[in-house]
Amino acid sequence: MRTILRMPKVQIIGILLLLFAAVASLIGLATASYLFVTCVGFSALFDIASTYLRRKKFFIPYAAIVTGLILSLIIDPEASWSQILVICATAMGVKNFARFGNRHVLNPAASGLFFGWMFFGLNPSWWGATLYSSGESLFSNVLIYALILPIAIISCYRLGRYNTVLSYILFFTLLIGFVTSSFSPSAIIRTIINPGLLFYSLLMLPEPMTSPVNKKRQIMYGSTVAVVNALLVYITFNYPVGNFPDSSLVALFIGNILFFKYR
């Protein structure tokens, strides 16, 4: 039991479960429960089925549960159960079959969400990485940060992805200042402590199967994703083009593709 509890994936599951409980009232307990059951349930089910097709064995789908929890925290709460089913099936299909040898290419959660945009016009809402209204629920906002930041210990310390995280936050903060023409200390601080940015940079960006291990390549990877993301934000901010895919998902895809051979 102690060995299982020391696993980074199990620790991430525990943190995400607590985070989900802390933010569930943002969209209502009924909607939150619906997202939890469908996203986690479908992800686990498809991962078990896909892995059995590949390896003829059953297992506890820790990675799928992490993916399902990530999806439940950022997916559009208006998504139907059938759309969630397709998104989860795509995420687990990419995880199990979009490989070169034993190397994963694309982040599963981002893949499912991008597929959801392509076929259903759904973009992630990032509802679970959103603060409560500031003067009303200060304790709740502190709790959200208290639950997001421990992910940094796992991603940066245990998995050794601190160069990825720090390079992304640094470059994205600087570049988004150019995009918004705002370099005031308060604007910089707001960007850095934005819970959506922290959730993305601490959890999705350094996903261990799709991000570099080499320290120098981590810096290149994090800065590349930051540059692409900021560039896409600039384009969509200045040249609206309708329902454009979420810039952070596209940037993550590009980073995954460019660095999957150089980890």
Contacts 24+ apart (CB under 8 A), 30-38: 31/77, 32/72, 34/81, 35/72, 35/75, 35/77, 35/79, 35/84, 36/69, 36/72, 38/72, 38/81, 38/84, 38/85, 38/88
What pLDDT shows up at residue 14? 95
Statement to judge: residues 171 and 221 lie in one domain: yes
Statement to judge: residues 143 and 237 lie in one domain: no
DSSP states of 87-123: HHHHHHHHHHHSEETTEE-S-HHHHHHHHHHHHH---
Statement to judge: residues 119 and 49 lie in one domain: yes
Which of 55-59, 90-94, 102-106, 135-139 bottoms out in mean pLDDT, i.e. has the lowest?
Answer: 135-139
**Length, in residues, of the chain:** 263
C-alpha distance from residue 42 to each of 17, 67, 103, 123, 181 (Å): 17, 10, 23, 19, 43
Whether pLDDT at 2 is above 70: no
pTM, two decimals, is 0.93
Averaged pLDDT for residues 11-21: 95
Statement to judge: residues 158 and 258 lie in one domain: yes
Domain count, the chain: 2
What pLDDT shows up at residue 118? 93
Statement to judge: residues 75 and 175 lie in one domain: no
Statement to judge: residues 183 and 246 lie in one domain: yes
**The one-letter amino acid at 20:** F
Whether pLDDT at 28 is above 90: yes
Statement to judge: residues 89 and 62 lie in one domain: yes
* Of 93, 117, 148, the domain-final residue: 148
Say if residues 39 and 69 touch (Cβ distance below 8 Å). Answer: yes
Which tokens belong to 58? 């059953």
* Full domain range(s) for residue 227: 154-263
- pLDDT tens track for 134-188: 655 688 888 899 999 899 999 988 889 999 999 999 999 999 888 777 777 888 8
Cα distance between residue 256 and residue 234, in whole Å: 21
* Of 122, 148, 174, the domain-final residue: 148
What pLDDT shows up at residue 135? 58
Averaged pLDDT for residues 239-259: 89
Whether pLDDT at 100 is above 80: no
CA nearest neighbour of 109 among 64, 156, 79: 64
What pLDDT shows up at residue 164? 96
Statement to judge: residues 143 and 166 lie in one domain: no
Statement to judge: residues 182 and 118 lie in one domain: no
Which of 21-35, 51-65, 80-94 bottoms out in mean pLDDT, i.e. has the lowest?
Answer: 51-65
Statement to judge: residues 254 and 212 lie in one domain: yes
pLDDT averaged over every residue in the chain: 90
For the chain, list the strands marked E by DSSP: 99-100, 103-104
Q: Report the range out of 4-18, 69-83, 146-160 with the highest average pLDDT.
A: 69-83
What pLDDT shows up at residue 184? 79
What pLDDT shows up at residue 166? 95
Averaged pLDDT for residues 98-121: 89
Averaged pLDDT for residues 113-141: 87
